[in-house]
Amino acid sequence: MAIHPRPLKFPRNFVWGLATAAPQIEGAAFTDGKGSSIWDTFARQPGKVKNGDNLDVACDHYHLFKKDFALMAALGAKNYRLSIAWPRIFPTGRGAVNRKGLDFYQRLIDSMLAHGLTPWVTMFHWDLPQALEDDFGGWRDRRTADAFATYADTIVITYGDRVKNWITLNEIVCFTRMGYGTGLKAPGLKLPEQIVNQTYHNALLAHGHGLRAVREHGGKGARVGITDNIENSIPLTETPADIAAAKAQFVTANTRVLEPIFKGRYNPAYLRAAGADAPKFSAGDLEHISRPTDFLGLNVYWGDFVKAGKNGHPEVLPFPPSFPTTDAVWQRHTPQSMYWGPRMVAEIYGVKSIYITENGAGYLDPPHSKTPIHDLHRRDYVRNYLRELHRAIRDGVPVKGYFLWSFMDNFEWEDGYDIRFGVVHCDFKTQRRTPKLSARWYSEVMSANAIV
């Protein structure tokens, strides 16, 4: 008897896409009036970014976008998540608008549409205008959120006739705690906990402004959400006790961002634990932050295993040294995070519409190659995660789309250009793009609407 594997089909109208972000691909860091961002500055400080790499040229997408969109279209992509660079629109973060910056995204969006690509636009993907850092202390001060409000209004008014899917902010923890607390990311500061908590709060205020901008100016059919990189808790075994423990752990780990947005409050346990370090806020702030969103974006890369310890208390398990990772060492191979993360936000916060706005794999693929890169490692990483996503949807979790990170190799923040997440290889010397095996495979997934 011949046995035919049954393809794991996704629901009809499932959104498949590719993702990037402006500072990681555009280059042209000082072209056509763009202001410096805190990442332009950070990358110039010795020892902050691997190999002293910077964002000046990156993939030169600023000049090559038409070719890039043609390649995306050739791969069969229909949806593309990108970000707009705030310092291109307002070189000093506020004040006079930079016409050339506005015009650049007009051309970009028109070209995208001409190539059959639906834009999913992130308003802020970490590239804060340096002037806001210098003048206000960046996210430490709520005037940065006020400046964001004007920026959000401006881009929604300008592009809202063609852009219908908006994401306010990308991964709050990465530009708050990691920028102002651990100092691993720009602006590279190590400040006390109260200040870090305040940066979260100001970021949430900005999210509220982005939301408001879309409601006021987005026009017909506009939708808006935020992208969060939740800390995923994976029950060690899928038994009621471990699941309950993992959920409790999930609430504690994600309280700073999800609770204000979806419950309009800071969790009392969080406020108690923070004590004098708690953020300062007013009730009006929380109302502003918790206006209803249309979807939640999740960037899912890995998760912790959690078991029910003594009296059912959650116990986060340490990873043994040999636990498999990609070449980005933080990226543990934990496909179950793609099941449990979406499921928990649906169950705990009642989220009705979820998009995986990022998932992908970082490896040290060769910088130059005469033949297409045979990245079975990346293909299999993504494939395993997609199987878990399929399982989540089968179990009723409302995931509506998936964006692979990333379309092409790009500037991987403090890791510079060594770690590559692209399914398309970028030779940074020649700017040649070459689809890897994973791109060919993902192209088939998108067209079959199934895991192939």
Residues noted as catalytic: 171, 358
Name which position in 36, 98, 154, 170 contacts ligand NOJ (CB under 6 A).
170
Instruction: Judge contact between 345 and 354, C-beta under 8 A.
Output: yes
CA distance 324 to 212: 42
Tokens of residue 168, six digits: 């306010």
The yes or no reply on residue 127 touching ligand NOJ (CB under 6 A) is no
Least distance to ligand NOJ, CB of residue 433, Å: 18
Nearer to ligand NOJ, 236 or 261 (CB): 261
x/- string (CB under 6 A) for ligand NOJ, residues 90-119?
------------------------------
Strand ranges (E), 21-94: 79-83
Name which position in 405, 417, 428, 441 contacts ligand NOJ (CB under 6 A).
405
Q: What region does 396 belong to: left with phi over 0, alpha with psi -120 to 50, or beta?
A: left
Name which position in 27, 403, 412, 435 contacts ligand NOJ (CB under 6 A).
412
Least distance to ligand NOJ, CB of residue 302, Å: 11
Nearer to ligand NOJ, 55 or 373 (CB): 55
Map the footprint of ligand NOJ across residues 350-379, applying CB under 6 A: 358
Least distance to ligand NOJ, CB of residue 170, Å: 5
The yes or no reply on residue 171 touching ligand NOJ (CB under 6 A) is yes
Least distance to ligand NOJ, CB of residue 357, Å: 8
x/- string (CB under 6 A) for ligand NOJ, residues 241-270?
------------------------------
CA distance 351 to 111: 33
Instruction: Judge contact between 152 and 83, C-beta under 8 A.
Output: no
Residue 395, number of CB atoms within 10 A of its CB: 11
**In this structure, what DSSP letter does residue 314 have?**
E
Nearer to ligand NOJ, 21 or 423 (CB): 21
- Distances in Å between the alpha carbon of 275 and those of 38, 57, 172? 30, 45, 22
Instruction: Judge contact between 57 and 92, C-beta under 8 A.
Output: no
CA distance 207 to 290: 9
Query: At CA 204, angle to CA 203 and CA 205, rounded to 5?
Result: 90
Least distance to ligand NOJ, CB of residue 447, Å: 25
Nearer to ligand NOJ, 247 or 420 (CB): 420
Least distance to ligand NOJ, CB of residue 189, Å: 20
Helix (H, G, I), strand (E, B) or coil at 400: strand
Nearer to ligand NOJ, 134 or 414 (CB): 414
For residues 250, 254, 260, 265, the Cα torsion angle rounded to the nearest 10 degrees is: 60
Name which position in 299, 334, 337, 438 contacts ligand NOJ (CB under 6 A).
299
Map the footprint of ligand NOJ across residues 13-72, applying CB under 6 A: 21, 24
Instruction: Judge contact between 134 and 187, C-beta under 8 A.
Output: no
What angle, rounded to 10 degrees, do the helices at 193-217 and 240-263 form? 70
x/- string (CB under 6 A) for ligand NOJ, residues 304-343?
----------------------------------------
Nearer to ligand NOJ, 170 or 334 (CB): 170
The yes or no reply on residue 421 touching ligand NOJ (CB under 6 A) is yes
Count the residues in the chain. 452
Least distance to ligand NOJ, CB of residue 29, Å: 16
Residue type, 232: N
Residues facing 314 on adjacent strands: 308
Nearer to ligand NOJ, 304 or 358 (CB): 358
CA distance 220 to 217: 9
Nearer to ligand NOJ, 259 or 358 (CB): 358
Least distance to ligand NOJ, CB of residue 126, Å: 7
Number of residues that bind ligand NOJ (CB under 6 A): 9
- Distances in Å between the alpha carbon of 150 and those of 85, 94, 107, 210, 286? 14, 7, 22, 9, 20
Helix (H, G, I), strand (E, B) or coil at 340: helix
**In this structure, what DSSP letter does residue 178 have?**
I
Residues that bind ligand NOJ (CB under 6 A): 21, 24, 170-171, 299, 358, 405, 412, 421
